[in-house]
């Protein structure tokens, strides 16, 4: 994956992680996640606060939950675009829990994933191809909402594009100053070959968990969230995986991207005799690439 870069921010007492479980009747797969630290780090790097941080946090958590269920060993990207805006938020989740986020375009107003927004999900397949789909986020009551847009969009995507019955809730809490204080969520999926009756029972049960703000207390434990969702039900806890902000940018990756440029463009950069300076959009790491490194691209271009 390459070198990882992480910010040196204040660490919470509890680390971020995802928990996987299965009900004892083998009807449902359940994944819960605490994403507080990584959401806080990414929003800080990308300069997001308030409602924009809420939207980014929900997108990050939702993308992680999607990867954990559909492609745990592969890379997944979630992208949300608000209506006709040219600005998008990107969540990028890789195997082993490494996750990063990005604001594409200029953010001139709070980013709300309300009615008319689009959610684009992409996941790698084992053969190297990409599975992707786009859904439009809509409000059933016809009114834009400040929370729930990513949750609604992801449930719609799972039903329409993946043909998987899914229930989920995402939550990113911010303080009065707009800074992230807690983030997390859950996803419950009906397993294949299971009848519709269990789904109806679970849907009724989870009606009380459409919002989970009250469960994301200070430094919350994802195990507590799992126990609340499956209270009174027998289940088997399968595994727990760490989650964290990490960027896999590197000089070699940048050189690989530059190698795709036209030979004349590379020659012009070499001829200038000035180092090429590039900042990673995800982690803001600053790279200085010397001309002799660029001239090496000409032999392979």
Tell me which DSSP letter residue 97 carries: G
The phi and psi torsions of 119 (rounded to 5 degrees) equal -115, 125
> What are the pLDDT digits (tens) for 16-54?
999 999 999 999 999 999 999 999 999 999 999 999 999
> Cα dist. 230→24, 188, 293 in Å?
11, 10, 56
Residue 131: predicted pLDDT: 87
Q: What percent of the chain has pLDDT over 70?
A: 91
Tell me which DSSP letter residue 283 carries: T
The chain-wide mean pLDDT, for the chain, equals 87
pLDDT band at 103, cuts 50/70/90? very high
Task: State both tokens at 289.
Answer: 């690439």
Query: What's the length of the chain?
Result: 301
Residue 109: predicted pLDDT: 86
Q: Which domains does the chain have, with CATH numbers?
A: 17-245 (3.55.30.10), 251-298 (3.90.1280.10)
The C-alpha atoms of residue 65 and residue 61 are separated, in whole angstroms, by: 6
Residue 147: predicted pLDDT: 47
Which is more confident, 275 or 186? 186
Q: What is the mean pLDDT of residues 230-243?
A: 93
The C-alpha atoms of residue 280 and residue 101 are separated, in whole angstroms, by: 12
Residue 8: predicted pLDDT: 43
Relative to beta strand 244-245, strand 98-104 is parallel
Residue 13: predicted pLDDT: 65
Q: What HEC string does 171-239 produce?
A: EEEECCCCCEEEEEEEEEEECCCCCHHHHHHHHHHHHHHCCCHHHCCCCCCHHHHHHHHCCCCCEEEEE
> Cα dist. 195→31, 132, 192 in Å?
21, 27, 9
Q: What percent of the chain has pLDDT over 90?
A: 54
Q: What is the mean pLDDT of residues 262-275?
A: 83
Instruction: Calculate the CA 47 to chain-centre distance.
Output: 17
Task: State both tokens at 269.
Answer: 């950069």
> What are the pLDDT digits (tens) for 85-94?
789 999 999 9
* Residue 265 CB partners (closer than 8 Å, separation 6+): none
Q: Is the predicted pLDDT of residue 1 greater than 60, yes or no?
A: no
């Amino acid at each position: 994956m390459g070198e990882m870069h992480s910010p040196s921010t204040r660490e919470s007492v509890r680390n971020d992680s995802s928990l996987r479980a299965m009900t004892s009747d083998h009807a449902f797969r359940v994944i819960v996640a605490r994403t507080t630290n990584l959401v806080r780090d990414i929003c800080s790097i990308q300069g997001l606060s308030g409602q924009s941080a809420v939207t980014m946090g929900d997108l990050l958590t939702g993308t992680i939950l999607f990867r954990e269920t559909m492609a745990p060993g592969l890379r997944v990207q979630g992208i949300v675009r608000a209506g006709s805006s040219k600005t998008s938020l990107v969540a990028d989740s890789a195997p082993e829990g490494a996750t990063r986020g990005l604001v594409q375009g200029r953010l001139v107003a709070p980013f709300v994933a309300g009615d008319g927004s689009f959610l684009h999900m992409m996941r790698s397949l084992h053969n190297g191809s990409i599975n992707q789909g786009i859904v439009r986020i809509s409000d059933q009551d016809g009114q834009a909402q400040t929370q729930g847009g990513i949750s609604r969009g992801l449930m719609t995507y799972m039903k329409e594009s993946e043909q998987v019955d899914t229930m989920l809730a995402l939550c990113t809490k911010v303080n009065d100053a707009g800074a992230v204080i807690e983030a997390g969520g859950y996803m419950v999926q009906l397993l294949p070959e299971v009848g519709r009756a269990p789904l109806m029972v679970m849907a009724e049960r989870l009606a009380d968990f459409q919002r989970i703000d009250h469960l994301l207390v200070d430094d919350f434990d994802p195990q507590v969230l799992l126990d609340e969702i499956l209270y009174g039900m027998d289940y088997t806890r399968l595994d727990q995986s760490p989650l964290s902000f990490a960027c896999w940018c590197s000089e070699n990756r940048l050189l690989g991207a530059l190698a795709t440029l036209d030979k004349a463009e590379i020659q012009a950069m070499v001829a200038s005799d000035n180092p090429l300076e590039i900042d990673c959009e995800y982690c803001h790491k600053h790279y200085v690439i010397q001309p002799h490194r660029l001239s090496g691209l000409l032999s392979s271009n």
